[in-house]
Chains A and B, each alone.
Chain A
Amino acid sequence: MFGVMFATFFLIRLLPGDPALLLLGNMATPEAIVSLRERLGLNDSIWVQFVRYLDNVAHGDLGTSIFTSNPVLQDLLERAPATLELICWAMLATVIIGVAVAVTAVVRRGGAVDRASRIYGLAAGAIPDFWVALLLIYFLFYLLGVAPAPFGRIDALLPPPNRITGFYIIDSLLTGNWDAFISSAGRLVLPVLTLTIVNAGALMKLTRTVFGDVYRSDFIRHARASGLPESVIVRSALRNSLPPIITLVGFLFGFLLGAAVLVETLFAWGGLGQYAVQAVVNSDYPALQGFVLVAAAFILLVYMTVDILYEFADPRIKV
């Protein structure tokens, strides 16, 4: 964690741009800039700044965003659920679709699903996510009008549900707020679909390969020779294919945290990725540092979970 903090702190300061200048605009007088820099502590030596930063972080203070003037922690806490809700649902859909398609393709080799998945496997990865998002918005929202507008997480006229978990869908369910539930679920459909379409391809290809190998292995053949029903055989083969799948899902999870930014932007989602990009554009050092810190913590958490799941998935591995 310290390493991450150290690296980001110094790397961010290598970025060109002066936050004071950006904040005050082009018309600012040099005096005003100097005094603002003074106030932000930007004139102290970089080491002093770093130590001050460490001290603050240790006290749970990630600093104040230069741009939004809110404490960074508060900004992040507001936006994190948006992104997390988006990528959680997207990952869930990715895993279900990717694995189900791969398993069907292997079990019914040469069938319709197999052939379709081959074409999809070729296409996925070649299509960028924003393009998929634009296509979906164009067809489903603009032409057919079945999807809700791509503006935020919930209808602007509805108040968001009381905050419990920060996930609108869960919160609205818990509070029994059906309008909010329907609206927020509807809003989720397009972005989740976008991320799923883009990411399920990789997971499907991997699962196909791994599951396909296991499915042809000796012990599966023996299980079939022992007269086990096909459902038991598929389940056992799938359990044996889990480790690489868990790894990829863990990786995608961490990756999406920042990579969903284009999708977030297109759907005006107001999530973490968008916040981070804004911070970069505005040279908002504290905000950017805060984001990287939270992202690193999150990824660490995901990888730890992956390791623990690994041990459950394969008794031969001791973590």
Chain B
Amino acid sequence: MAPERSPLLEVEDLTIAFGDGAPVLDGLNFALNRNEIVGLVGETGAGKSILTRAIIDLLPKGGAITAGDIRVEGQSVGKLPEARKRALRGGEVALIGTNAKLLLDPVATVGSQVGRVLKAHRPASRTEIRSRVIDVFRQVGIVNPEARYEAFPHELSGGMAQRVVIAMALIAEPKLILADDATLGLDATIQAQVLDLLVSKGRELGLGVLLITHDLGIISHYCDRVGIIQGGRLIELKPVDQFLDKPETEYSRLLLDAAKVRPAPRDQSGDDAPAASIQPLLDVKELRKTFVVDGGQAVVRAVDGISFRLCKGETLALVGESGSGKTTAGQCLLKLLQADSGSVMFDGTEILGLREHEFRRMRRRLQVVFQEPYVALNPRWQVVDLISEPLALTGQRGGAERAAEVTRLIDLVHLPRRVAGLYPHQLTAGEQKRVGIARALATGPDFVVFDEPTTALDIRVRAQIIDLVRELQARMGLSALFITHDLNSVRSLAHNVAVMRHGKIVEHGETEQIFARPKEAYTRMLLAAELPIEANRSGKAPKTELEFVR
């Protein structure tokens, strides 16, 4: 038997490699105790997820532990017999992964899915299992758990699905929870709720929690200790306070700086602020768009009568949680969706009433950068073709002229010139965003819609993209609509902010004003949900209200 006081999780000299390639994890050493929350930070590809899968001995095919050992409660995981390993997974060590909707069986009710995990570890009668599941659902904050028990995953929102996955992790009363980017892609408000829940449950039950993320804000709010992983090595591991005060390595400092990037509040002096007297470039009045869902049973008012103006050179941020209608609004402006009613005047022309062929001539002046760059880029085209495609709209014929233009655009978005011959899947997420931006800029537009340009990017990459957009603003005098739920980026970019909720604009005003003195409760809630790393860390209590306004 294991000695009484061995740590909950010990990772010793862990090295993992695929085939004969370079190790993905290289000599990792750390321990995690009961009732402790350790955060691990690293950028995409640093080997974080491989670590979680190694702990439950479910490495992807081809991966193998080439040196070192992982022990849970003093027992080496790799040496356990198969049946014990199964009992360990979910029973003692529970994994919470990214994108809960993909982690749930689409054709089984969520209640039965959580129930079958319980049954696998703690056999019990049907009714007992059912009542336990409903009990745990209630604990993780699922409203009306009896009804939700019968729901299928596609009927749940992302946040709700994440709660189900957490319930699934908690149901068999494990001792160690591995949360692998558990809140990636969730709205900031939901993210805060989910993490609060996870952390408070962990504290309450005295669990060990390994919180893997690339968001230092989360670390600073919830973790006791933090480890930085770079290229498969744990380069730093220390209590969070010490880390925030003085990070040891160059890389940690870089990460920390990138996470702190913000304000550089916009230059408010004189000519930068758009003059109010000029005729607005874009004037939107009472824009409406409804969707009929459920076979005509219900109508969703995605955009419910919004109005705003945008002057030349101005950037307006449209902020809201997912489902607030902000993306729909952006698509209606560009006539990618047909609006139901309202008016959109662009440079003096009403565009909603234009026919498709009339509008096509205006297309080059109105462009969009899509949310998912990889989905929006044709995977079989090289970057050079992707960027030169929209150039056809501008009527530039000559091959040499066009090639020069492509090179200019590649330089403009700070991509290395060698990417011209690559395909989208060979690019990193940040490079894909840049290609998307270059495509949008190719026609020399007056107005660009950026749809969630920084979602799901690593912090440093996010900062770089924001820098790029700011630079473009300054150099090209671009007018832009910036659709996002990431308030940090808004602050350093936008002149004005419009907060959307349930299809309506609930608050609209100058950026600094909104940040400093939000009027609406909803805006305050959005602001409070952000997790800035330099905020007051008193007691690591779950955040509730506005404590970060400085």
Contact = CB atoms under 8 A, between A and B. Distances in A.
28 contacts: A218-B102, A218-B103, A219-B102, A219-B104, A221-B58, A222-B103, A222-B104, A223-B105, A224-B58, A225-B58, A225-B97, A226-B89, A226-B95, A226-B120, A226-B168, A226-B169, A227-B89, A229-B120, A232-B120, A240-B105, A313-B107, A315-B106, A315-B107, A315-B152, A315-B154, A316-B106, A316-B152, A316-B154
B117 A236 contact: no
A314 interface: yes
Nearest to B90: A227
Contacts of B295: 318
Interface in B84-123: 86-91, 94-95, 97, 99, 102-108, 116-117, 120-121
Contacts of A217: 102
Interface string A30-72: 0000000000000000000000000000000000000000000
Contact of B108 (A222, A225, A236, A316): A236
Contacts of A163: none
A232 B113 CA distance: 10
Interface residues of A, number: 21
Given A222-B97, A239-B107, A315-B106, 11 more contacts: A218-B97, A219-B106, A223-B105, A224-B58, A225-B53, A226-B168, A227-B121, A227-B172, A228-B117, A232-B120, A316-B152
Contacts of B116: 228, 232
B377 interface: no
Contacts of A229: 86, 120
A316 B153 CA distance: 9
A162 B107 CA distance: 44
Contacts of B226: none
Nearest to A230: B86
Contact of A240 (B56, B97, B107, B152): B107
A102 B121 CA distance: 29
Nearest to A313: B107
**Residue among B53, B86, B106, B154 with the highest chain A CB neighbour number at 10 A:** B106
Given A227-B87, A229-B86, A313-B107, A222 B95 contact: yes
Contacts of B56: 225
Majority DSSP secondary structure for residues of A touching B: helix
Contacts of A315: 106-107, 152, 154
B120 A219 contact: no
A198 B53 CA distance: 42
B88 A227 contact: yes
Given A218-B102, A222-B97, A316-B154, A227 B117 contact: yes
B158 to A, nearest CB: 14
B447 to A, nearest CB: 38
Interface string A10-34: 0000000000000000000000000
A318 B97 CA distance: 30
A114 to B, nearest CB: 15
Which of A222, A227, A240, A313 has its CB near the most chain B CB atoms (within 10 A)? A227
Given A218-B99, A318-B295, A225 B90 contact: yes
Main DSSP-derived SS at the B contact region: helix
Q: Which of A222, A229, A316, A318 has the most B CB atoms < 10 Å from its CB?
A: A222
A229 B103 CA distance: 17
A318 B94 CA distance: 35
Contacts of B88: 227
Interface in B116-153: 116-117, 120-121, 152
Nearest to B171: A226
Given A227-B117, A227-B120, A228-B120, A236 B105 contact: yes
Given A221-B58, A315-B152, A227 B91 contact: yes
Contacts of B87: 227
Tell me which of A313, A314, A315 has the highest count of chain B C-beta atoms within 10 A of its own C-beta: A315
Nearest to A229: B120
A66 B64 CA distance: 75
A95 B143 CA distance: 42
A242 to B, nearest CB: 8
A214 to B, nearest CB: 10
Nearest to A240: B107
Contacts of B120: 226-229, 232
Given A232-B120, A318-B295, A225 B106 contact: no
Nearest to A314: B107
Contacts of A222: 95, 97, 103-104, 165
A223 B120 CA distance: 11
Given A218-B99, A222-B95, A232-B116, A240 B89 contact: no
B90 A226 contact: yes
A225 to B, nearest CB: 4
B427 to A, nearest CB: 23
Contacts of B102: 217-219
A187 B89 CA distance: 51
Given A227-B120, A315-B152, A239 B89 contact: no
Contacts of B91: 227
Interface in B2-57: 53, 56
Contacts of B108: 236, 239
